[in-house]
Structure 1
């Protein structure tokens, strides 16, 4: 019970941080597009561009304060207007950068290394656990030597 309360609390704190970061990115995107990051400006410009859904002054004020974030449909309108990708606006570039780093790491592997990793993936879970423990022991020993 204590663990679930603690994890729920940390989840809420993490979500508050994510929403605050979204608000910062939204304000920055508005400035870069030449708009003052004010609720009245955001409401007017959004409603001029959206035919299917409208926003209220109160709603966009909550976006700018980091209290909530828009639905995906509204995020697409914002992204198109502000000329940024929806992913970048909602999550920033950190996630995209980490994905690119992982992709670059995979692309640097030679054929034998890829073949080894694919063989590892095809092992039974119990066998993968053993192989992982051996590899992690080698990695730890390598760090101690280096």
Structure 2
């Protein structure tokens, strides 16, 4: 809230959240529990809070550090895999489970074969 220019006070949070929330309004006590970490808003409320504060829902739920770790782990995908390889993986994930298992066996068999050829 402070980074977005708001005082981190329950009354401010209650007012600003309820202006943007289209469900049952939150009480002062309820938002106070959020601020104290005694309660966690549901995902739908986290999305509303994130839109208001201009942050990702993930950073509100898990903290900025957790979000950065996830981004670091997934960034290798774009660095390592070319577009064609990403297309193949996406197609693989759309296959039924039985076909995925069969394809996995084929790929592993080819990988073993290739290792034998390289070692020879």
Which TM class, normalised by the smaller chain length? 0.5 to 0.7
Cα distance, 1:66–1:102 mapped onto 2, change above 3 Å:
same
CA distance in 1, matches of 2:52, 2:79: 37
Greater relative CO (CA pairs within 8 A, separation 6+): 1
- Say which of 18, 23, 28 aligns to 1:57: 28
Paired residues in the alignment total 89
More helix by share: 1
- Say which of 13, 16, 20 aligns to 1:42: 13
Compute the RMSD of aligned alpha carbons.
2.7
Q: After TM superposition, give the deviation of residue 106 of structure 1 in Å.
A: 4.9
Unaligned runs of 5+ in 1: 1-29, 115-121, 124-146
Unaligned runs of 5+ in 2: 86-103, 106-120
Q: After TM superposition, give the deviation of residue 33 of structure 1 in Å.
A: 1.5
